Structure 1
Amino acid sequence: MPRTAVVTGASSGIGEATAHELADEGLDIALAARREERLESIAGDLEEEYGVDAVAVPTDVRDEAAVDALIEATVERFGGLDVLVNNAGLARGGEVAELETEQYRTMTETNEDGVFFATRAALPHLVESEGHLVFVGSFAGQYPRPFNPVYAATKWWVRGFAHSVGAQVGDQGVAVSVVNPSEVRTEFGGAEGASFAERFERGSVTEPIEIAEAIRFAATRERSGVSEIDLFRRDKFADTMN
């Protein structure tokens, strides 16, 4: 059974819910995101509620050295690493002709570079533990998203990278999974307008706990690996026809 997990983007939404699910499974948790106070609060909640050891490691996943330090600190504190959840991600902009270079780079550096840095740093430890590597993908990584092509492209990259890494390290005992949500009621998307939590009423789209439960399932298989889980809003495919 896995013992230790790193969750990126852990300060809210899917990441926070995932930390709770994995702590409920008995895993010690390293929480990574940029909001230190929020991480400290969540770590305290996990320790009090589940009796696990939880540590806040403020991390900007775009910073290669910071990500390396995150994995090193986790291994040093807990003696190893069994699960990495690559959850940190963001969306900026929309129309390609109007997208500023800074917005483009922020998306690719977070959604692609950050995932690469964390995966690279964690893999030797996951090979040692025969652990689990879980990527939070997206509906946008499987179907065209005309209203935000660059974000969609980053999620296609995540999915392709994940499955290719799985092919590379599967024979070394590492299980690699991709969990693909459609809209989830979180703070996501709020930097330049209403967040999903503000745009959607409760019950109209997926809640973070639903995605976290899928991540928990993928990250705790004893002798098998879950390749991919799609959790789409029930009417989501109607979007592809319009």
Structure 2
Amino acid sequence: MTEKPLSERNALITGASSGIGRATAHALARDGAKVALSARREGKLHDIAETLESRYGTETLVHPTDVRDEDAVASMVEETVSAFGGLDILVNNAGLARGKRVDDLSTEEFRTMQETNVDGVFFATRTALSHLRESSGNLIFVGSFAGQYPRPFNPVYAATKWWVRGFAHSLEGQVGEDDVAVTVVNPSEVRTEFGSVYGESFEERFAEGEVTEPEEVAEAIAFAATMENSTISELDVYRRDKFSGF
């Protein structure tokens, strides 16, 4: 029997209850990893964990976490390490968007985006780094096209993703000598429930096949996670006609 590419690897995914996070959990479990699932919706996490265990025969851990809570994030990482015996892969996926004009955006909405997309990424990364150094692991950030190109319709969200990308690549220079790989995966539109809290979701807006599916982004993340001696620094994932007409 051929050994799976992520056998004996331990992964933690934030924002794992739907969309890219859920698809990534399937991709990593399929490839042999033990998978810790983190998000705020505990019921959905348990459903996903049961499916992963029955379908792939993998070990899972459910840890409901709001990534804005510094102590909860630290507990999430440490419980994963304790349960699995180490951490090899962290996927920083949790995030949210609020597509409003700046002058219509409340301070609460602004802070919620910052605390989720920036603070949450920092908290998880900071706690996980010592464990990833021990395992020569892979640190993967889910960025966005919004972190590469101007986004007039959601400038604050775009700014958080520019921060994620800048933080990731700067950290890459810091921890590369410690044998930690850092990857940023940048999707464009993905057909998920993203944005549903504030209105029409991408899943509702786009028909199947019209934009990128979460499974396609998950495959890019899984590919980056298999790197043992090299770093896949950045991967952009978008539909093939994305730039037609430019």
| TM-score normalised by L of structure 2 | 0.95
Q: Aligned pair 1:165/2:171, yes or no?
A: yes
Query: 1: distance between equivalents of 2:100 and 2:168?
Result: 25
Amino acid aligned to 2:25: A
Task: Tell me what 1:174 maps to.
Answer: 180
Task: Tell me what 1:66 maps to.
Answer: 72
Gaps of 5+ in 1: none
SS in 2 for 1:41: helix
Query: 1: distance between equivalents of 2:87 and 2:79?
Result: 10
Superposition misfits of 4+ residues, deviation over 4 angstroms: none
Instruction: Please say if residues 29 and 53 of structure 1, whose CA atoms lie closer than 8 Å, have aligned partners that are also in contact.
Output: yes
Task: Tell me what 2:29 maps to.
Answer: 23
Task: Tell me what 1:185 maps to.
Answer: 191
Deviation of 1:238 after TM superposition, in Å, equals 5.4
Amino acid aligned to 1:26: G
Q: Aligned pair 1:233/2:239, yes or no?
A: yes
Amino acid aligned to 1:35: R
SS in 1 for 2:183: strand
- Give the one of 46, 49, 53 matched to 2:52: 46
Instruction: Please say if residues 93 and 103 of structure 1, whose CA atoms lie closer than 8 Å, have aligned partners that are also in contact.
Output: no
SS in 2 for 1:194: coil
Instruction: Please say if residues 185 and 236 of structure 2, whose CA atoms lie closer than 8 Å, have aligned partners that are also in contact.
Output: yes
Amino acid aligned to 1:90: L
Amino acid aligned to 2:177: D
Query: 2: distance between equivalents of 1:235 and 1:94?
Result: 27
| % identical equivalent positions | 67
Query: 2: distance between equivalents of 1:80 and 1:36?
Result: 23
CA displacement, residues 171-227 of structure 1 (integer Å, 9 cap, x when unaligned): 100000000000000010111111000000000000000000000000111221100
| TM-score normalised by L of structure 1 | 0.97
SS in 2 for 1:124: helix
Query: 2: distance between equivalents of 1:217 and 1:18?
Result: 11
Task: Tell me what 2:3 maps to.
Answer: none
Task: Tell me what 2:100 maps to.
Answer: 94
Amino acid aligned to 1:101: T
Instruction: Please say if residues 182 and 232 of structure 2, whose CA atoms lie closer than 8 Å, have aligned partners that are also in contact.
Output: yes
Amino acid aligned to 1:143: Y
Query: 1: distance between equivalents of 2:81 and 2:216?
Result: 29
Deviation of 1:92 after TM superposition, in Å, equals 1.3
Bigger CA drift: 209-218 or 224-233? Answer: 224-233
Amino acid aligned to 2:159: A
Q: CA RMSD in A?
A: 1.1
Query: 1: distance between equivalents of 2:230 and 2:99?
Result: 39
Number of corresponding residues: 240
Structural mapping, 1:142-161, within 5 Å: 142-161=148-167
Gaps of 5+ in 2: 1-5
- Give the one of 186, 194, 197 matched to 2:200: 194
Amino acid aligned to 1:47: E
Q: Aligned pair 1:12/2:18, yes or no?
A: yes
